[in-house]
Amino acid sequence: MLLRPDGDDTIAIGQPAHAWLSGQLARAWSPTQREEVILAAEQHDIGMAAWDSEPKLNPETGLPRSFMQLELDDHLECWSRAARLVLPQSRYAALLVSMHGTALYERRRNLDDVRVRAFLDGQRELQERLARGFDPDEVRRDQRLIWTWDSLSLGLLLGWQPFTLDHVGIEVRDGTLDPWPFSQPRVSVRCEGRRLAGRYDQEAAMRAALEAAPWVTLEIELTAPAMPPASAGSSTPSAPRSGSSGPESR
């Protein structure tokens, strides 16, 4: 779950909703991506869906635990099932989701933890089976794209701007990406979240409040960098915007 501050309230965005936004970015990318790759972008956090439906309380904040606050066992459980949930849809998409999960853990500092080692060993064995017959260079390229869209979606929803997408060297600032990676000069993406008011001492009360919380739609508009005045058909950059029911993007 992503927690996006909005005044005194918090917009709780499910991980699958964030992944859906990643898929929208993938679909708009240039060059056009294979549907299996877009599917992986849309489904890369499917393992979090059950957890997001009954999130645990963070007693320090009085809010649901965000994806960055999950305890290790919970995080491993989510990622251990992710690829297998995607597998009935697409072997290639499941491979990319598994690789995304191992890439996340390879950046963690607890690689010596026996639970993490067991997770990585299991996922790498699964990847070896799923990858048979695919071009390794193409697989690695597509996995990096999943990482890029995931990072871009997180940055847009959590207001990280300005920030840089390291894998592709793209700077994101004020609703503009430079260099521009999309096939059209303007891209609109959206996802849904729930507006949660207040802080909670009990997990049951937090879950009940989240269940009853009003839904909001977050709409973000991205535009290509402005071209020099002599260039025809230039686009003027504008900041991401939110829908009337949601918070303003930064």
User: pLDDT digits over 34-80, tens only?
Assistant: 999 999 999 999 999 999 999 999 999 999 999 999 999 999 999 99
pLDDT of 153 higher than 90? yes
| Within a domain: 29 | yes
Predicted pLDDT of residue 228: 55
The verdict on residue 85 lying in a domain is: yes
Residue 13 is assigned to a structural domain of this protein: yes
pLDDT of residue 227: 62
> For position 199, what pLDDT does the model report?
96
Using pLDDT thresholds of 50, 70 and 90, give the confidence band for residue 161.
Answer: confident
The answer as to whether 242 is a domain residue is: no
In this structure, how many other beta carbons lie within 10 angstroms of the beta carbon of residue 180?
A: 18
- Domain membership of residue 233 (yes or no) is no
Taking only the tens place, the pLDDT of each residue in 211-221 is 999 999 999 99
Please report the pLDDT score of residue 226 as a whole number: 86
67, 42 contact by CB (below 8 A): no
Predicted confidence band at 167 (pLDDT cuts at 50, 70, 90)? confident
pLDDT at 232: 36
Does 241 map to a domain?
no
Return the pLDDT at 243: 33
Residue 172: inside a domain: no
Total count of domains within the chain: 1
How confident is the model over 117-127, as a mean pLDDT? 97
Of 99 and 232, which is predicted with more confidence?
Answer: 99
Whole domain around residue 132: which residue ranges? 2-159+189-220
Q: What is the pTM of this model?
A: 0.89
Task: Tell me whether residue 183 is in a domain.
Answer: no
